[in-house]
Structure 1
């Protein structure tokens, strides 16, 4: 009846995982991508580019070796924008090649062009050369991702006043930068350029940043940023942005304070890329940020047979969770059984230093009135930390006093996004503090911090148990 079993609009993490999953179930699948190459935002302007830029900056600046050789140590004295791009282009070419091979191996058909709905089962595709055609399908998965929020009052010029997509095309590394928006993207780029010795000011209209992170971890992170002379301005909305005659950018805050810098990065939110899909034709109404509401278990929209996954459905907006969303949506769309993903997933912020978290924060545990205890380990307490020259970084674990189960694991510091998976596994397997106390960890490694934090919590829990023991009183 239809040309395809599933049409996927967008080839980012959610789209590619969905397409390959449906193809492995022997369904006929078409992927429609508006860009010239597959991969979506994740490969071309988001996840992969920003993490590649981070790694390049840390390598060329000698950041990881400064604990031993001093703050002036650098691998390359003059780091250019071309230096940052060179590694990026190699990485992107590799990612695209791998994805193209995966599609070919699984017989996933591809088409370049912009898709829009005619009706629930029909999509119109406009190719780059203007050719128009229509395809019919039993189900559709929208994995169109997001794009930077660009309000009219910001005078973007693609050179000095830029968004988070345009930062990959800068002509030179600025000596000073103002970053507006202390969300994940703003914090990541602010700290990356700070590691390149750019003088960075981070402005956030709210009184706090990264509210979903455990406060103790966030306090340690904030201290590290201020310790290296980053300016953090919270609760100070921007009034206007201008360029002076000398080419400098001038940012005026609503408090009246004026700041100047070589470059301004506006990173205050993203919009769902849904405006060209003609969603009203099928009765779907996105929210004010272009995001689509879905069933959290199946990722089906309010219209049967139409699914959405990835950043376009909102939080947590991670490549890793987007892949799982796409897989589950595809299985449901083609009538295959799909298990729910594990309850706990890791959240990674690739700032300098990294932050990664899984499970409940201490604040969430308190709100639920769960009796608990914490265990802390500083990376400098590990032999591996000494070898690496680390004097910062910490691991925090939260345990239930009643069940002794791990409730949350939170890390700030080198390798946090890798280390978190140990805590994630224990959380999903409902492990207790005894796992960390009784098991052996490779020595010397940063993972040994789990042992240290586990012992710290175990000692404290033992003391808490003694404090709550009821001592029998003699009769009479």
Structure 2
């Protein structure tokens, strides 16, 4: 067997790269991680999940401040600019870098800074920040390079006032009116953020409803509350061209509409970061969005090269990436490769959304007899204390077996609340039924109590049959 410098070489230090590297290191492997930024964390820490959710948190605090009569008595009418809000949100990034750097240090994982590209299936060329080149070899290589905003070839992103979900975090002015093209998860989240800052928002959706993968009732609630906050949602629209100058930007739609604003945020999908890896050298080919195809153990068509995280496409979530990283290292080590599945959605709009399991549409199409139990946040003591008048927990369960089939939550801390239902759905036998919520005592007052309320509501429907 060849004498390789490393047992495992990971390209990318985001959630997928970090978890795969540390899992392999804990098993006694010689591991290195390559990162093309000067610090670790990947796009998750620097351009994606962490900064955008931190920005959302700051905006949520601003909204709470403005809506609370107690704070209004202070009479502070100073207007917060977008750069100032960004500055506050960005404070978390150095903390994240320090945290993740320590993970590598404690687990004795080497961190190599530079741009990686393949020479052959076991050898990587690394261009260092000073331009020098080095070679590194490994028995197994994991591609965890993440993704970036998709930029169509027919749009000139050097135009003024045109941003994507990375560059928007560097915007140095405060638009009065912003157009968001693309109403996926990222587009909806930013629509909430900007409307929360008092901007006029036009949200352009290519499809006929928002986030159609959600339960219809949750999608409808999102649509209503976005409009209620001042967002204009335009469905079934496609762009034709974009024109901009130093004062404004105009979006021309194929429907003939012309929308003029102070800025445009382009949020129409993401592309895998594979174009600089010299994949041809190892016989790999990415699809049109830069994503790599893998098998159930995250192995590419090259036996010793694996790929995890956003670079393999759906579900493109940090939570899933952590699980995929651990799974791929387990497979390399000879353990059973566990495919990451049943990943809950976490959508950080205002209010936020989270769900796991089946939707009503899916259950209806599968002809599964089910019933619904609901709990409205405004009818809970904790919701009233916290001022959370918007929100709902929805349980879908089998009419005969009472098995919990889906949990859908809309409102404050939805991404936290959903995990109680997820845990019950993962139990075996009778442990995964709605009866758990009826026989369990929940702290009072809490948002977790909504499970008991929703379960009672659902059982009332069953008893009336």
TM over 0.5: yes
Q: Which residue of 1 aligns with 2:463?
A: 462
Take 1:72 and 1:418, find their aligned partners in 2: how far apart are those partners? 33
Closer, same or farther: CA 67–439 of 1 in aligned 2, 3 Å: farther
Q: Is the 8 A contact 2:123 2:135 kept in 1?
A: yes
Residues 413, 457 of structure 1: alpha-carbon distance in 2 compared, 3 angstrom cutoff:
same
Q: Is the 8 A contact 2:11 2:17 kept in 1?
A: yes
Asked if 1:171 corresponds to 2:207, the answer is: no
Following the alignment from structure 1 to structure 2, what is the Cα–Cα distance between the partners of residues 71 and 293?
54
Going from structure 1 to structure 2, the CA distance change for 1:350 and 1:74 (only over 3 Å counts) comes to farther
Q: What is the rounded CA distance, in whole Å, between the counterparts of 1:76 and 1:61 in structure 2?
A: 13
Deviation at 1:381, TM superposition (A): 1.0
2:12 corresponds to 1:25: no
User: How many aligned residue pairs are there?
Assistant: 460
Deviations 1:251-272 (A, max 9, x none): 1211111111111000101110
Which residue number corresponds to residue 317 of structure 1?
316
Deviations 1:92-151 (A, max 9, x none): 101000111110111000111111111111111111211112111110000000011111
Report if the CA contact (8 A) 1:60-1:76 is conserved. no
Give the aligned partner of residue 470 of structure 1: none
Q: C-alpha distance in 2, partners of 1:73/1:225?
A: 29
Structure 2 residue matching 1:206: 3-state secondary structure: coil
Q: Matched residues in 2 for 1:164 and 1:54: separation? A: 14
Q: Cα–Cα, structure 1 residues 217 and 388, in superposed 2: closer, same or farther, change >3 Å?
A: same
Distance 2:27 2:401 in 1: 41
Matched with 2:305 is 306
- For 2:347 and 2:179, the matched residues in 1 are separated by 20
In the TM superposition, 1:107-256 aligns within 5 A as 107-157=108-158, 159-244=160-245, 247-256=247-256
CA contact (8 A) 1:7 1:141 kept: yes
Answer whether contact 2:159 2:244 (CA < 8 A) is retained: no
> Could you say what the CA RMSD is over the residues aligned between the two structures, in angstroms?
1.9
Give distance in 1, aligned partners of 2:28 and 2:77.
Answer: 51
Distance verdict in 2 for CA 1:71–1:143, change over 3 Å: farther
Which stretch shifts more, 187-196 or 387-396? 387-396
CA contact (8 A) 1:194 1:200 kept: yes
Shift of 1:86: 2.5
Q: Which moved more, 1:15-24 or 1:51-60?
A: 51-60
Unmatched tracts of structure 2, length 5 or more: none
- What SS does the corresponding residue of 1:62 show, helix, strand or coil? helix
Q: Equivalent residue of 1:20, what SS?
A: helix
Q: Which structure 2 residues correspond to residues 260-339 of structure 1 after superposition, within 5 A?
A: 260-296=260-296, 298-339=297-338
Secondary structure of the residue that 2:91 maps to in structure 1? helix
Equivalent in the alignment of 1:469: none
Q: d(CA) in 2 for partners of 1:274 and 1:393?
A: 40
For structure 1, the residue ranges without an aligned partner over 5 or more in a row are: 465-476
Equivalent residue in structure 2 for 1:38, among 37, 40, 56 = 40
Distance 2:76 2:86 in 1: 17
Q: Select 1:423's aligned residue among 421, 428, 431.
A: 421
For 1:315 and 1:134, the matched residues in 2 are separated by 32
Name segments (4+ residues, structure 1) moved above 3 Å: 67-77, 336-341
2: CA distance, partners of 1:124 / 1:461: 64
Residues 437 and 454 in structure 1, CA contact (< 8 A), matched pair in contact too: yes
Contact 1:140–1:306 (CA under 8 A) maintained in structure 2: yes
Trace 1:323-472 onto structure 2 (pairs within 5 A): 323-341=322-340, 343-430=341-428, 431-464=432-465
Q: d(CA) in 2 for partners of 1:208 and 1:89?
A: 33
Q: Greater shift after overlay, 155-164 or 46-55?
A: 155-164
Match of 1:471 in 2: none
Among 5, 8, 15, the residue aligned to 1:6: 8
CA distances 1:302-321 after superposition (whole Å, capped 9, x unpaired)? 21111100001111111011
Q: CA deviation at 1:76?
A: 6.5
Residue 340 of structure 1: how far off its partner (Å): 4.6
- TM-score by length of structure 2 reads 0.95
Q: Per the alignment, in what secondary structure is the counterpart of residue 98 of structure 1?
A: helix
Structure 1 equivalent of residue 257 of structure 2: 257
| Rounded Cα–Cα distance in structure 2 between residues aligned with 1:75 and 1:369 | 57
Contact kept, 8 Å, 2:160 with 2:244, in 1: the verdict is no
- Structure 2 distance, partners of 1:360, 1:148, is 29
Cα contact 2:19–2:322 (8 A) shared by 1: yes
Q: Distance in 1 between matches of 2:70 and 2:179?
A: 29
